[in-house]
Structure 1
Amino acid sequence: MSQNDNFSPGRRRLLLGAGALTLAGTASWLRPSSADGGHGPYFQGLDDTLRQHGPYQPRLIIDRQRLLANIDLLSQQLAGQFNYRIVTKSLPSLPLLKLVMARTGTRRLMVFHQPFLNQVASALPDADVLLGKPMPVKAARQFYHDLPAASPGGFEPAHQLQWLIDSPERLAQYDQLAAELGLQLRINIEIDVGLHRGGIRAPAELVPMLNHIEQSPRLSFAGFMGYEPHIVKAPGSVTWRRDQAMARYQGFVDQAEQTLGRSIRNLTLNTGGSTTYTLYRDQHERFAANEIAAGSALVKPTDFDLPTLADHQPAAYIATPVLKVVEPPEIPGIPGLGRLMGWWNPNRHKAVFIYGGDWKAVAESPAGLSPNPIYGRSTNQEMLNGSAALALQPDDWVFLRPSQSERVFLAFDGIDSYDGNDRRSHEHWPVLG
């Protein structure tokens, strides 16, 4: 120790003790706070209702009042300025689609899966359908193979169906299919307005495709589809990216009108999506697009918790029964780790094993529940951890909120629809399969 070192052993012990207290205080500050133990009034009402209705197994629930409020909000936002097309992959249930169609007054659907296309054609014969992605030509062939024979009032693909085409090669395949089967096909061309996921990237690429369609006795040009979800996810100004995407869209429209020698403004000029549709209100005179597609906004999974949908309400939940409650959690092969995890994070004090699990969803109620990162996920009996105040017991219900609707809804044998004002009003809606 040098002569200038003023830290005596006693002083060093004092400083070390103070440092330890400071570190402990900091660690305490970093520890998560404990969540309360029960459902709030909304989820307690759902819990009470589920005890009275149906089987004790995982269920997909839609709150009809919230759903209707979201539908009405979408209609108010579009304000009759754009046609509305329902995205069926996000609402994959015929009764659900019928409700949205009736409430919005639209018969326009966007379909993404060949078996669903056949089901829609059979159950909704007045639908106007646009494919949401380019289909392999063999999938199109299968659609026509599975389509019942034409009947009065039945679905007529020649007039009610637009196939989405993204390349000259796929266009030639569909033309050949039409020739082989004696069909008339309506062709909508996918254009890249900035997403860079495929489609025609430059207006000049349209010219040979449009000429091909015009020269074919079997094909007709139906419009464009330009999807643009990147405008709310890429860095920078949302309105600037929207305007850039619509400027690209306008370039394709201008090229088409120049090539065809006529206006195409009466055709399907589709854009938008759930994350972006609110950006188009009062913009119909500025932009070429005349139709907006959306679906997930009506049920608002967690992936859609965005500023553009701030006024929408979550309307879909997974409900699943509690099977077991263990306190403290035990991690196999690592004695005491569960208790240690509960000391650090008070929301890991208890283990709740639920019926099923590992859905694309996050626990919503009671608050504070989450999967254990060490124990891992399970589709059979998933462990969720909660606080010491957690009041759950076996046969109570846990509620999770899906992160998306299209895959999650199809994981269940149907949708249980409840009226948020009168939960005795219950309907079961089958899902597409």
Structure 2
Amino acid sequence: MDAYYHRLNETLKRGGIATPVIVLDLDRLDHNIAELRATIPHAKAFRLVAKSLPSIPLLDYISSQMRELRLMCFHLPFLIAAVKRWPSVNIMLGKPLPVSAAVQFYRALSRVQEGAGVTWLVDTPQRLLEYLDMSKGLELSKKGLQPLNIALEIDVGLHRGGVSNLEELDLFLDILEQNPVHLQLTGLMGYDAHVGKLPGWLESANRSFARSQQQYRQFVQHITQRFPGLDENSLTLNGAGSPTLHLHNECAITNDLAAGSVLVKPGDFDLPALKAYVPAIFVATPVLKILPGLNLPGPGWFSRFADHLPLSTRNTLFSYGGNWLADPCWPPGVKPNPLIGTSSNQQYWNCPETAIQVDDFLFLRPQQSEAVMLQFGDLVVVRGGQLVDYWPVFSNRVNHQNKKQAGRTIASVGR
């Protein structure tokens, strides 16, 4: 691995990179895409999780190799950006958004038809009623976008909200049945992130998955009994996630699988089931200073004393920025100093004697992709040891120029 990071270090220096950046390695991304394509059963659709891959060019690149584009969005600015880029794209919300966010979404579009492929996720009958009122208040039926696509969040064992039993399910179905002009049920979303995370003595991963599938099937059977025109093929039955994707084989009830992080594999996804995937993103930050010894603040005798401890074989390294959700991976042996803490300005690290020099790059692996990738501006894209492009990431901001008008609309459709 030393050779890989040495080459990456030289690539960034030749490219004139002088600030902390996220590096995206396309060769490694290609490897992960191939692994993912081999994992997805042919009869099941695949949905990219936009929060984990927060860049239009990145989503474009992956979808071109996956040969389909379906998205799961969790954040209003990302949703707006995605629909403006792909007006008719099939998007399922990954969490229920406040009705005010949905109003802002429609206000942000130049044409309401641009949002025709969006499926809104609801978790309570009250939220479903709010979306019904929004649809009526915005008069969407007169603008060619009716009825609203609705997916129900179902609880398959994670216990993070959503429909948990058939009695609750009937409350949703009653509202949908009574308002076919404004609402239509197009799918379910049953996230099973708990599978494999419980202690084995409490419940095995296989048992957790079997129970989640049983719960999922029960909901689907009840819906198809209430609505004979619907079946497993006409409903989008979404599930999975990077850690559980491999469990959703041909026999699983789900027909729409979502994942994202596994394609760039941040540190939190170093799991046995994902061992075939490789890290494809890194934080790279310039080394500003390298000093001999620990150089602890405070009385000089304290630092000199510490230098004679076993830790004294380490030097002090200061990086450009820090305090990210990321762990150092090169050079080997770099660790944050537990006495000093973190810094967003100049992070203090302890490191053994290495070949790294001032102005070289310290490399860290993000613990997750969804937050860390948004902190550094454009992604620095490399392939074959060459810097080949810069890809912008999503903005976290929403344009509130129509804030007053949106506020009046929200008030008018509230129950």
What's the TM-score once normalised by structure 1's chain length? 0.86
1:76 aligns with 2:38: yes
SS in 2 for 1:287: coil
1:336 & 1:251 partners in 2: Cα distance? 69
Provide Cα deviations, 1:375-411, integer angstroms capped at 9, x if missing partner.
1100111011111x22222111110000000000000
Partner of 2:319: 354
Pairing of 1:406-425 with structure 2 (within 5 A): 406-419=370-383, 422-425=384-387
| Aligned-pair identity (%) | 40
Query: Which of residues 223, 229, 245 in structure 2 aligns to 1:277?
Result: 245
Pairing of 1:312-351 with structure 2 (within 5 A): 312-346=277-311, 349-351=314-316
The Cα of 1:54 is off from its aligned counterpart by 3.1
1:57 aligns with 2:22: no
1:348 & 1:136 partners in 2: Cα distance? 54
Cα distance change of structure 1 residues 340 and 221 upon mapping to structure 2, 3 Å threshold: farther
Query: Which of residues 131, 149, 170 in structure 2 aligns to 1:174?
Result: 131
The Cα of 1:340 is off from its aligned counterpart by 4.4
Amino acid at match of 1:290: N
Partner of 1:370: 335
Partner of 2:403: none
1:392 & 1:347 partners in 2: Cα distance? 18
Amino acid at match of 2:226: T
Instruction: Give yes or no for contact 1:223–1:264 (8 Å, CA) kept in 2.
Output: no
The Cα of 1:346 is off from its aligned counterpart by 3.8
1:68 & 1:190 partners in 2: Cα distance? 32
SS in 2 for 1:404: coil
Greater shift, 91-100 or 231-240, is seen at 231-240
1:157 aligns with 2:115: yes
SS in 2 for 1:76: helix
Amino acid at match of 1:205: E
Instruction: Give yes or no for contact 2:193–2:243 (8 Å, CA) kept in 1.
Output: yes
Partner of 1:16: none
Query: Which of residues 128, 133, 138 in structure 1 aligns to 2:90?
Result: 128
Gaps of 5+ in 2: 141-145, 396-415
1:60 & 1:311 partners in 2: Cα distance? 22
Partner of 1:267: 235
Greater shift, 99-108 or 164-173, is seen at 99-108
The Cα of 1:348 is off from its aligned counterpart by 6.3
Cα distance change of structure 1 residues 138 and 396 upon mapping to structure 2, 3 Å threshold: same
Partner of 1:88: 50
C-alpha RMSD of the superposition: 1.5
Partner of 2:29: 67
SS in 2 for 1:376: coil
1:323 & 1:225 partners in 2: Cα distance? 47
Amino acid at match of 1:349: R
Instruction: Give yes or no for contact 1:296–1:405 (8 Å, CA) kept in 2.
Output: yes
The Cα of 1:239 is off from its aligned counterpart by 1.5
The Cα of 1:228 is off from its aligned counterpart by 0.6
SS in 1 for 2:287: strand
SS in 2 for 1:73: helix
1:84 & 1:390 partners in 2: Cα distance? 44
SS in 1 for 2:354: coil
Instruction: Give yes or no for contact 1:192–1:226 (8 Å, CA) kept in 2.
Output: yes
The Cα of 1:85 is off from its aligned counterpart by 0.3
Partner of 1:403: 367
2:6 & 2:151 partners in 1: Cα distance? 48
Instruction: Give yes or no for contact 1:250–1:287 (8 Å, CA) kept in 2.
Output: no
2:321 & 2:14 partners in 1: Cα distance? 21
SS in 2 for 1:163: strand
The Cα of 1:343 is off from its aligned counterpart by 4.2
Gaps of 5+ in 1: 1-38
1:222 aligns with 2:186: yes
The Cα of 1:214 is off from its aligned counterpart by 2.1
Matched residues, number: 384
Provide Cα deviations, 1:337-371, integer angstroms capped at 9, x if missing partner.
44544544447621100001011000000000011
Query: Which of residues 197, 206, 225 in structure 2 aligns to 1:233?
Result: 197
1:342 & 1:83 partners in 2: Cα distance? 58
